[in-house]
Amino acid sequence: MQDSNTDSKIKSFASEVRFASMFQAAQYWLRKGYLVMPVNFAGTPITANGFKDASDDPQQIARWFSREPILGTPEVNLATVPKPDSGRFDVDIDQHGKNGFLTWRQLTKGKTVPRTLTELTQSGGLHLSFEAPYSVQRSTGNPALPGIDICGQGGYVIRAPSVRAKGAYHVFDSPIVAAPGWLLEITEKPNEAEPKREFERPDLSGLYLPDMINLSKFRKSGSRYIGPHPAHGSFSGQNFSVDVSRNVWHCFRCGSGGGPLQWVAVAEGIISCQDAKPGAIRGMTFWQAIAAAHDRYGLGFDKAAEILNRGQRND
């Protein structure tokens, strides 16, 4: 059953886009940063290689989608795939046996949910489009997020004005906005190639993040280890990453990160996680971080002088 206020909430802040033809709709989704492809009434790709055939080629799109006006149920429906490296992804709030709206309300409680491109599905669910600073991997069936899927690279999304068994899809126009940090927590990056000599200790401050942070329960993805933030925790269990080859860390919630000294400053409460950005470790803050690194991790003051001399004060 659809959330009782879904229709009115959408229509209160955005105008529905009306299409004269499926060809026109394809042009719209291309402008939004997606590749397009044809699917049948059941939502199954009708191309030889499935979603891998999604395209932005004008001639191919003209062959797939008729320029004739839509009259009743179209013979061909439309789906999209994020363009490679575009960062586009969709939050798919479903009601296929699980109330995704309840999960979404719990997830967004007390948080700011930015206005973005919104689509109403045939079954009363929602597709919310966002942009990430990296290519987001498709993720479905997360037991921590019943009724919610993340649709990114590796899959496709049925789009308006498609018509299926339970009805039509409707899109309500708005710019696609950057995903807030708390939402990035529940996204995944595609796996990366293994780096060479991954565990070689970088010659920076002499401190090495894997010696400072317990990564034993983190998920490995290339040179990165992904898990919950050791200082402020995580809803999803994957809002924090450590790149062991570069000796740097990143917080997806706060959009912050840095090297060993910045981690010391955050872990010891010298600065907040959201303030851990270039330029944050300077003046008294720098010396507090150095003292904490000396007391807890054995950093020698001779190394501190070396960091200053080498211009790594903002580690």
Q: Copy the structure tokens of residue 239.
A: 């809002």
Neighbours of 60 (CB within 10 A): 15
Quick check: 6 pLDDT over 70? no
Q: Under a CB-based contact definition with an 8 Å cutoff, are residues 222 and 315 in contact?
A: no
Query: 289 Cβ partners below 8 Å, 6+ apart?
Result: 261, 262, 264, 265, 268, 270, 281
Query: 203 Cβ partners below 8 Å, 6+ apart?
Result: none
For residue range 119-160, list pLDDT tens digits in order. Answer: 999 989 999 999 988 888 888 877 778 899 999 999 999 999
Question: pLDDT tier at 227 (50, 70, 90 boundaries)?
Answer: confident
Question: pLDDT tier at 292 (50, 70, 90 boundaries)?
Answer: confident
pLDDT at 279: 81
Quick check: 1 pLDDT over 50? no
The pTM for the full model equals 0.63
Mean pLDDT score of the chain = 82
Quick check: 215 pLDDT over 90? yes
For residue range 46-69, list pLDDT tens digits in order. Answer: 999 999 999 999 999 999 987 554
Where do the domains of the chain lie? 6-179, 209-309
The three-class DSSP label of residue 36 is strand
Protein fold of 209-309: DNA Primase; Chain A (3.90.580)
For residue range 229-253, list pLDDT tens digits in order. Answer: 999 887 667 788 999 988 899 988 7
Neighbours of 34 (CB within 10 A): 25
* Residue from 54, 20, 19, 60 nearest 37 by CA: 54
